[in-house]
Each structure stands twice: as C-alpha cells, then as structure tokens.
C-alpha cells in the first residue's frame, strides 16, 4: 500500500480534521473525537481545492458507513494510498465540538514514525543551516571569524561577511584579488587591517605601510601557509616555504652566503651580459623578419638561462630545439601554471574529492618525477666532476654538494631547493623587465631621458653595460623603482604569512594564531594618501630636487620602507632581490641604449593585468625596435 503524505493539522473543510503526521493518522476507536461520534460514518478525502481525491485527479471513499470494528485500518498507524497533499474530513450529518487537538496531538507522538531517522536528519540539517546563517549574519569577516576572534583586541578587526560557508572565496577567485581586496578595504575604512574568510580559512590583509611593516618584520609571522600544489611539488622543504626553525635558517644562511652575496653576483656579471647579448640578437632577428618584437619570450629565455647558469652552472642555446631544452621549458611552464592556479580546495578541503577543475593533484603527481629526473641528472654530472674547491664563480649545486658534515641535505631536500630556485629567479625578472619596457613605450619622454643619461654616462660606443655602470645611472634606477611601484610583480607579495601566535598590533587589533596574513602592496603603492598622483608613471618622484616629496634616489625598495617593498621585508623577504635588480637594470639599459621602442600599430600596448604566480601583462608586449644611430 502506498505511503500517504498529508499536512499535519490542515484546514477543516467541513466536519472534523483527522490529525496526522506524514504517514500516520490519529483516528482511534479508543479515543473518539467527540462523545456524539456516530458508529456509522463516511470518510472521504479532499485535495487542496476542496475536491474529493484518492490519487492525483481522482477520488474515492475509503470507508462507507462501516463501524470501527469493521475498519481496523483506521486505528493509529494506518496508511492510505495517497499521492498528493490532501485534506482529511469526516462527513457527518450532525455538528459536534471541534476541540479535537487535545485528543489528536498524543496520536502524533505515539506513531512509530515520529522518530524516523530521515526526518530527524532533515530537522537537524535545517536547524544547523539556520544557525550557521544566523551566526554568519552577525560576524564581521565571515564564519571563519566566529566566536569573536576578530574582537580579541581593544579595536575589533572589520571586514566583509562574504557568503555563508564560502566567505569571500568567489570574489577573489576570479579577476584580480589585489584590486578586489583594495576596494573592499577602502569601502569599509579597513585599510589598516581587514578580516575576511576564504572558505574555512581565516585571513587578514593589511593595506597600510605601518601595519604592513609590523607584520612582515614580526617573528610571529615567520611561517607561510602551504597550498596543495606547494606540498605536492616538494616546495614545503625549500627556502620559500620551509617552516621557521633550524632547517630553514640553515637554508637561508647557505643561500645568503653563497648564491646571493655581492661577490657571487659580481662573479656572474659576464655571464649575464652574454645572456643579454644573445637576447638582443634574437630580438633583432625577429624585428627584421616580422617588423616587431614580442618581448616576453626572449626575456623568459634569457632569465631561464641566467638562473640555470647561476644555480646549475649550465647554459643552453635557447634558439635551438633539443630534448633537454624542450623538457626544461615544459616543466617550468607546467610548474608556473600549477603554483599560480587558484585552487578552491586549499580553502575548502572537502571540495577536492568532488571538484578539481585544474586537476592539481594529478598534474603535480605527473610533474614531480620529471623534475626529479631532470635535476638529478645535473646533480650527477656535478658529482662526477666535483673538485671540492669552491670559488666565487661556483654554481649553487657545487655549494650544496660541498656542505660539511652536519649541514648535508637529503636528496629530496636538495632537489626541492634547486627546483624552487628556477621559479624564484625566472618569472619575476622577465615580467618586471617587460612591464618596464611597456611603460617606456607608452612614455616616450621618459625613454628619451633615459637614453640621454645612458649616452652621457656610457658614451655612444658599443661597450656593454655592467653593474658598476648601473650604479651610476640614477634615472635608470628611478625608472625601475617606478615600475615596481605601479606594477609590483607580487601585488600581494606572492605568498602570504601565517601567524604562529596571537599578535598584538600597535593599532589595538589582535591577529589570532593560525591566521593567513597578507600585505596588499598594490593597494599601498596606489594609495593617494601615500603617493602623490599614484596612477601616473613618473620616475622623477624618486629623484632628488624633482619637486616631489614622495621619495628620493636613496629610496630603498628592498624592505626598509614599506611604502614600496615589492620583495617583502623581514626574515621572509626575497633572498634574490639584489640579483634580480642587477639583472633587470642591466637588461633595460641595454635594450633602451640600442633601440628606440615605439608602439606597434596593430598591437597597441595593453596594461591589463593577469595574476598568476606573478602579476603579468595579459597581452604580451609587442613593440617596434628601431636601432639607434651608430649601434648595431
């Protein structure tokens, strides 16, 4: 017999409503609804429109003038063959008292399905959902900030609630997160610190240089949260992501003492010049063949070759195709995509079981063996020819293999460190140079000023620019600094920090332990309260006597002044910033000294941003390179 479904206590059409609960109805011969209930009656079913029904669109009489003894199915627990919501009435010729509820309610509690597991689960889910939504409505920052976590300090941390369960995840997963966060903070007057939720992840973002300095230089923000792709690609043991402690301090000391110290950078100057020379030749060839140059591919090839030479001691002919070069390009490209992809599962862990649009886990699992094979081949080559003597020109593989007892690294740690170096040294240098050249194409006056400075300091000959020359070119340095201000490669400083304890800030706010903490460097460098005319590209703001109080030629972008600290600050700042700045300065000087760069009519310069691992131009720069007189 089918299960009947009816609304409990439905409206009385005529006569007496039979009290019911989903599938059970409370007619019982032992508890009559009225003392005057006749022994003979007719039970009919009515739909919501008042028509008789025994199914959908039809009607029937379940009992016609039968006594209680003749209809045992009408006792408590009876089921009827109904397929739609109906109204039950007892048709009778006489009127009677309708105080039926006092008798009907006990029948509901006594039915065997009153505690149906599915019913209880539905009630529990409905109650929990209502409680979550009610809590969400009163929690600034979203559900990840429940239990008053944003009110631990004298001043509460303001922030958007976002959506229940998801927080601000959807608002940041599309478009440009640094711009979205800047707008959100500005609307809520929360530029000092803003709380928000990314799924179940609690996060704050600072858009104020003073608070940013406190965060970046505090030892309580010395760790980084680990994304799934970071863990899968072995970066959890590399310099950028290893947890603060003896192991991380050892890695940092090794890198600072060997790879990134000034003497080592100077020792590799000639090789950077060679890489730059090959890059310019490739650009000249493309200009001759196509009438314009797409700069990014040449810059990326040169940056990759530069870091491979510095770290691995091995350079490639990027203009030629070979299995090794193709494999290197492919694994670097795949690694960039995986590390730069916005993976919702990082903030909603349960989602990885049902939704993985970028196939992060599968692709990481396929990439790691290829990386291991590529890096191990280079390590084995070094072991075969290792002499044991280090010089300023030694590459980083030699340094790692020569570590003394007690400092020796495991094979997996060595691979992770070397693998990370490729990414830390390739992407930023190439993209920063591209942004700089794009601004010079759009600002011909700045390009002309820079060329005049180059000609004055270096002369008109074909002498290559070196690091000492770059130090004597203040306008070149100002151009690079202004590019870093307008287009910081890591607008959110690439990777966030993680608070290891409750941190009390000078503004009275408290960041709870375990909070993902970001610094919106883009918002700071575009704040009119920090920089005059922040949207304009004006290198002169960094020159003494230029009529601007924004900065000076001595303005340090390496983390001293948080008005402009694109490489971060404190213990977790980028260790390769000096090498990166030296390379970008040399390349920009050579490109501007040898060519006049003008817009291409069919491919105008488009400064639209695209945030991946770093912030890059959505449309690669295409420009016409016109050789300057007297140079080849």
pLDDT tens-digit readout, 209-241: 999 999 999 999 999 998 888 888 888 888 888
Strand partners, 45: 88
Q: Supply the pLDDT for residue 319.
A: 79
Q: Supply the pLDDT for residue 70.
A: 35
Helix or strand or coil: residue 441?
helix
Cα–Cα nearest to 251, from 429, 410, 388: 410
Q: Supply the pLDDT for residue 561.
A: 92
How far is residue 453's CA from residue 446's CA, in Å, rounded to a whole number? 11
CB-based contact 586:573 (threshold 8 Å): no
Strands 516-519 and 201-206: parallel
For residue 205, count other CB atoms closer than 10 A to its CB.
27
Q: Supply the pLDDT for residue 289.
A: 96
The pTM score is 0.78
- Show the tokens assigned to 590: 């050579």
Q: What is the largest CA-CA distance in the chain?
A: 120
How far is residue 325's CA from residue 319's CA, in Å, rounded to a whole number? 10
Q: Supply the pLDDT for residue 86.
A: 35
Residue ranges of domains in the chain = 16-114, 119-199, 229-627
Task: Provide the annotated binding site.
Answer: 574
Q: Supply the pLDDT for residue 105.
A: 46
H-helix or E-strand spanning residue 201: strand 201-206
- DSSP assignment letter at 116: -
Displacement of CA 45 from its chain's centroid (Å)? 59
For residue 324, count other CB atoms closer than 10 A to its CB.
12
Residues 157-199 pLDDT 10s: 999 988 887 888 888 877 799 999 999 999 999 999 999 999 8
Alpha helices (H) in 42-161, listed in sequence order: 101-109, 117-137
Residues of the chain with pLDDT under 50: 1-108, 547-548, 632
Q: Supply the pLDDT for residue 463.
A: 81
Task: Provide the annotated binding site for heme.
Answer: 574
- What's the alpha-carbon Rg for the chain, to the nearest Å? 36
CATH topology of domain 229-627: Cytochrome p450 (1.10.630)
């Amino acid at each position: 017999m089918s299960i009947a479904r009816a609304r409990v206590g439905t409206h009385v059409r005529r006569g007496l409503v039979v009290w019911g609960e989903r599938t059970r109805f409370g007619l019982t011969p032992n508890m009559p609804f009225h003392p005057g209930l006749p022994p003979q009656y007719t039970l009919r079913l009515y739909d919501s429109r008042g028509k008789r029904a025994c199914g959908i669109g039809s009607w029937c009489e379940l009992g016609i003038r039968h006594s209680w003894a003749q209809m045992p199915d009408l006792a408590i627990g009876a089921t009827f063959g109904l397929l739609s919501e109906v109204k039950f009435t007892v048709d009778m010729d006489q009127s009677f008292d309708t105080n039926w509820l006092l008798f009907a309610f006990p029948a509901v509690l006594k039915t065997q399905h009153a505690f149906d597991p599915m019913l209880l689960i539905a009630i529990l889910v409905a109650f929990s959902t209502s409680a979550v939504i009610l809590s969400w409505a009163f929690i600034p920052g979203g559900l990840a900030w429940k239990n008053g976590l944003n009110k631990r300090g004298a001043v509460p941390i303001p922030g958007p609630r976002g959506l229940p369960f998801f927080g601000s995840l959807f608002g940041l997963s599309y478009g440009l997160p640094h711009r979205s966060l800047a707008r959100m903070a500005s609307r809520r007057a929360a530029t000092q610190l803003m709380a928000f939720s990314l799924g179940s992840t609690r996060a704050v973002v600072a858009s104020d240089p003073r608070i940013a300095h406190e965060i970046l230089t505090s030892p309580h923000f010395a760790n980084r949260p680990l994304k799934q792709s970071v863990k899968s690609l072995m970066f959890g043991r590399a310099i950028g992501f290893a947890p603060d402690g003896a192991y991380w301090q050892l890695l940092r000391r090794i890198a600072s003492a060997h790879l990134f110290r000034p003497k080592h950078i100077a020792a590799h100057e000639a090789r950077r010049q060679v890489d730059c020379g090959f890059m310019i030749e490739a650009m000249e060839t493309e200009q001759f063949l196509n009438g314009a140059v797409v700069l990014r591919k040449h810059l990326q090839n040169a940056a990759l070759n530069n870091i491979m030479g510095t770290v691995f001691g091995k350079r490639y002919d990027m203009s030629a195709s070979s299995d090794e070069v193709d494999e290197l390009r492919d694994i670097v490209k795949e690694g960039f995509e995986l590390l730069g992809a916005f993976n919702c599962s990082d903030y909603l862990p349960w989602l990885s079981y049902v939704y993985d649009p970028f196939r992060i886990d599968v692709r990481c699992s396929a990439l790691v063996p290829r990386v291991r094979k590529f890096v191990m081949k280079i390590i084995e080559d070094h072991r075969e020819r290792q002499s044991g003597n280090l010089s300023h020109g030694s590459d980083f593989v030699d340094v790692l293999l020569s570590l003394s007892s007690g400092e020796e690294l495991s094979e997996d740690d060595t691979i992770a460190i070397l693998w990370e170096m490729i990414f830390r040294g390739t992407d930023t240098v190439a993209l920063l140079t591209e942004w700089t050249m794009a601004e010079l194409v759009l600002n011909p006056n700045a390009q002309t000023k820079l060329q005049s400075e180059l000609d004055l300091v270096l002369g008109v000959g074909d002498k290559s620019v070196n690091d000492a020359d770059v130090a004597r070119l203040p306008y070149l340095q100002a151009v690079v600094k202004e590019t870093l201000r307008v287009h910081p490669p890591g607008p959110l400083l690439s990777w966030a920090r993680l608070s290891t304890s409750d941190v009390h800030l000078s503004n009275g706010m408290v960041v709870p332990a375990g909070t993902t903490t970001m610094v919106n460097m883009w918002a700071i460098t575009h704040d009119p309260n920090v920089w005059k005319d922040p949207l304009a590209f004006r290198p002169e703001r960094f020159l003494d006597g230029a009529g601007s109080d924004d900065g000076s030629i001595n303005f340090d972008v390496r983390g001293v002044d948080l008005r402009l600290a694109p490489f971060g600050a404190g213990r977790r700042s980028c260790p390769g910033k000096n090498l990166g700045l030296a390379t970008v300065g040399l390349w920009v000087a050579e490109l501007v000294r040898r060519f006049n760069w003008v817009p291409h009519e069919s491919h105008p310069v488009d400064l639209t941003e695209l945030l991946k691992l770093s912030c890059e131009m959505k449309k690669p720069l295409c420009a016409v390179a016109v050789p300057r007189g007297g140079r080849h």
